[in-house]
Amino acid sequence: MMNRLRAGLAAALCLIVPLVAGQGTASAQGETSAVIGMTLEPPHLDPTAGAAAAIDEVVYANVFEGLTRIDAAGAVQPALARSWEISEDGTTYTFALRRGVTFHDGADFDAQDVIFTYERAMAEGSVNAQKQLFSAIESMSAPDDHTLVIELTQPQGLFLWNMGWGDAVIVDPATAETNKTNPIGTGPFAFDGWTQGDNVRLKRNDAYWGDAPALERATFKFIPDAAAQVAALLAGDIDAFPNMGAPETVGQFQADPRFDVYVGTTEGETILSINHRRAPWSDVRVRRAIQHAIDRQALIDLAMFGFGTPIGSHFAPHHPAYIDLTGTAPYDPAKAAELMEAAGVETPLRAVMKLPPPTYARRGGEIIAAQLKAVGIELELVPVEWGQWLAEVFKAPHDFDFTIVSHTEPLDIGIYAREDYYFGYENPSFVAHMAELEVEADPVRRAELLVEAQEMIADDQVNGFLFQLAKVGVKKAGLEGLWLNAPVQANDLTAVRWE
C-alpha cells in the first residue's frame, strides 16, 4: 500500500517537476561499466545453498557456470561441458569438459570438481534448495580429467536442462564453503566486493575461457522502493532496471528518449490457488464457476497496467508446447452463477484469501475479490508477508481458501502431481502422466505429453489460471545485450555493452 502510494506520488511529482532532457544520462562512448538495479538484495551469493532468485540474478552466468547453461531463449547450451553423448537407453551421459578453464582463485577446473559439486548437492546434509534436480544420478566417474560419465537410474528428459540451473553450477572444493560471502566460480566476471545493503560489484575475469565480455565492471545496486527505483533511473545513478518493482511507473520512461522500456516474459504463472482440502472448493463445478467469474484481461489491465498474458492452464505461453486454453472457461458471470446454483451451494459464500506482498497479489486480490463477489463469493483479504505465507499457506495445515501467487520455476507443471502440495490437488492419472513425461526424452512425444497435461489441469479447473507475469525493464538508451525474457532468473551480462 505504502509502496503504491509512494510510486503514485513519485509519478505525480515527475509531472510537476519538469525534466531537463539529456541531463545526467550521458552514455559515454566506450564506457565499460554498468550499474544494474535490482529490487531485492540476495541474502548471500551461493546459488547452491539458497532459493532466493536474487542470488541467481547476480551470479548466474556471470560468476558461476554449470556443465550446461540456459540461454536468453531458454535453450540448453554447452558451458563447462563442451559436448556430450547420450547412450541409446538414455541413462548414460558422457560429457567432454572444456580444457584450460580456471576458477577465479587460479585453481584448475576438471572432472573431479563436477563430481565434488554434485555429490555435495546430493549428500545427506545438503542444503541445496533444488536437491531433486540431481535425484536421477546413480553414479559418476571420470575416465580422465576432462571426461565425465554420469549414470542415471532411469532416463530423464530434462537432465541437461536441470544441470543448467543455478543450483547446479560447478564450485571449487577449496572455496565451496565460503562462496556465500566470497563467490569463486569459472564465469566471465569475478566477485569484486559487496557493500551489504547497497551493492555487489563484479569485475571482468581476464582469464576467462570464452569470449571476453565487453564490460570491465558491473555493479548490482539494490533498491527495494518503487519510487526510489524511478528516481535512481532518472538521476542516472543506475543504467538499467531489468525488473521494475511497479508497472505503473514505466509510462514516464516510454515517453522519454533517454530510456528504453523493454517488456519480456517470465516463467511466472500467476494463479489463484484454491485449497482443495476445503469444501466447497473440492467441487469441480464450484471451481469452474470461479473460472467463469474471472475477467483475466480486466485483471491484467487494472492490476498490472496491461503487462501480462492471459493463461488458461499452468503453462508459459512462450513455450513451444503451449496451447491456448483461455477459452476453456471464458469470462461469463451468468454461467458462473448458474454453475454455483447447480452445485447446490448457498451464496453468499465467505472465504479467506491470503495475499503475499507482490503487486500482482495485493492489487490482483482486490480485483479478484470484486469479480468473485459478483457470483456470490465474498472474500476476506488477508495481506501476509512471505514468511507468513510459507508458514500458513504453503505448509500444513494449509490455513487458507484462496491465495494469489506466481509460480516462477521454469516448466513447473509437475507441481500438480506432487503429493500433498499446498493446494491439495489429487489426481492419480495426472501423476502417472507426469511420471511418463519424466522419463521421456523424445521431444515430439514430450510435447504431446505436455499438451495433454495442460488440458488435464485446465479441465479439472484446479486453480484460477490468471496470467503469465511479464518482465518489465527500463534501461538507458545505448545499453544493449540484456535479456528480454527471463527463462531463468538471471541477469546474464556476458553480452551487455554500450553502443
Partner 1 sequence: MLAYAAHRLLQFVGTLVAASLIVFLALEVLPGDAAQILLGTEANAETLKALREQLGLDRPAVARYGGWIGGLLTGDLGTSHIYGVPIADMLAERIALSAPLALLAFALSTVLALPLGVFAATRRGSAGDWAVIGFAQIGLAVPNFWFGILLILVFAVQWGLFSSGGFPGWEAGIGPAIKALILPAVALALSEAAILARVARSAMLETLGEDYIRTARAKGLSERRVLFGHALRNAMIPVATIMGLQFAFLVMGAVIVENVFYLPGLGRLLLQSIFQRDLVVVRDLVLLLSGFVILVNLLVDLAYAAIDPRPRTAAAGGDAR
Q: Given the rule CB under 8 A, which residues bind partner 1?
A: 2, 6, 9-10, 13-14, 17, 19-20, 23-24, 41, 43-44, 49-52, 124-132, 180-181, 195-199, 221-225, 227-228, 231-232, 234-237, 385-388, 390-392, 394-395, 409
Nearer to partner 1 (CB atom), residue 207 or residue 232: 232
Nearer to partner 1 (CB atom), residue 66 or residue 310: 66
Nearer to partner 1 (CB atom), residue 17 or residue 444: 17
Give the separation between CA 433 and CA 56, rounded to whole angstroms: 31
Q: How far is CA 127 from the centre of its chain?
A: 20
Taking the complex as a whole, the smallest distance from the CB of residue 227 to partner 1 amounts, in Å, to 6
Grid coordinates given for 57: 540474478
Taking the complex as a whole, the smallest distance from the CB of residue 45 to partner 1 amounts, in Å, to 10
Taking the complex as a whole, the smallest distance from the CB of residue 162 to partner 1 amounts, in Å, to 12
Nearer to partner 1 (CB atom), residue 42 or residue 464: 42
Taking the complex as a whole, the smallest distance from the CB of residue 396 to partner 1 amounts, in Å, to 11
Question: Is residue 303 packed enough to be buried (19+ CB in 10 Å), middle (13-18) or exposed (0-12)?
Answer: buried
Taking the complex as a whole, the smallest distance from the CB of residue 365 to partner 1 amounts, in Å, to 19
Taking the complex as a whole, the smallest distance from the CB of residue 39 to partner 1 amounts, in Å, to 10
Nearer to partner 1 (CB atom), residue 359 or residue 371: 359
- Residue for grid cell 554498468: 34
Nearer to partner 1 (CB atom), residue 52 or residue 439: 52
Taking the complex as a whole, the smallest distance from the CB of residue 318 to partner 1 amounts, in Å, to 22
Taking the complex as a whole, the smallest distance from the CB of residue 176 to partner 1 amounts, in Å, to 13
Taking the complex as a whole, the smallest distance from the CB of residue 87 to partner 1 amounts, in Å, to 28
Give the separation between CA 213 and CA 492, rounded to whole angstroms: 11
Grid coordinates given for 416: 500438480
Nearer to partner 1 (CB atom), residue 236 or residue 333: 236
Give the separation between CA 266 and CA 259, rounded to whole angstroms: 22
Q: How far is CA 79 from the centre of its chain?
A: 21
Helix (H) and strand (E) counts in the chain = 13, 19
Whose CA is closest to 47, among 125, 102, 117?
A: 117
The backbone torsions φ and ψ at residue 418, rounded to the nearest 5 degrees and listed phi first, read -75, 140
Residues 170 and 109: beta-carbon distance below 8 Å? yes
- Residue for grid cell 526424452: 441
Distant-in-sequence, close-in-space partners of 325: CB < 8 Å, separation ≥ 6: 311, 312, 313, 454, 455, 458, 465
Nearer to partner 1 (CB atom), residue 52 or residue 107: 52
Nearer to partner 1 (CB atom), residue 52 or residue 149: 52
Nearer to partner 1 (CB atom), residue 125 or residue 428: 125
Give the separation between CA 185 and CA 208, rounded to whole angstroms: 11
**Largest interatomic CA distance in the chain:** 70
Taking the complex as a whole, the smallest distance from the CB of residue 223 to partner 1 amounts, in Å, to 5
DSSP letters, 388-447, are: HHIIIIISTT---SEEEEEE-STT-GGGGGSTT-TT----HHHHHHHHHHHH---HHHHH
Distant-in-sequence, close-in-space partners of 358: CB < 8 Å, separation ≥ 6: 406
Nearer to partner 1 (CB atom), residue 34 or residue 377: 34
Taking the complex as a whole, the smallest distance from the CB of residue 409 to partner 1 amounts, in Å, to 6
Whose CA is closest to 24, among 168, 249, 234?
A: 234
| Amino acid sitting at position 429 | S
Taking the complex as a whole, the smallest distance from the CB of residue 132 to partner 1 amounts, in Å, to 6
Nearer to partner 1 (CB atom), residue 223 or residue 449: 223
Give the separation between CA 318 and CA 342, rounded to whole angstroms: 37
Angle at 485 between CA 483 and CA 490, to 5 degrees: 60
Q: Where is 125: in which H helix or E strand?
A: none
Nearer to partner 1 (CB atom), residue 264 or residue 410: 410
Taking the complex as a whole, the smallest distance from the CB of residue 387 to partner 1 amounts, in Å, to 3
For 327-334, which contacts have Cβ atoms below 8 Å and span 24 or more sequence positions? Answer: 328/291, 328/458, 328/459, 328/461, 329/288, 329/291, 329/292, 329/461, 330/292, 331/292, 331/293, 331/294, 331/295, 331/296, 331/297, 332/292, 333/292, 333/293, 333/374, 333/375
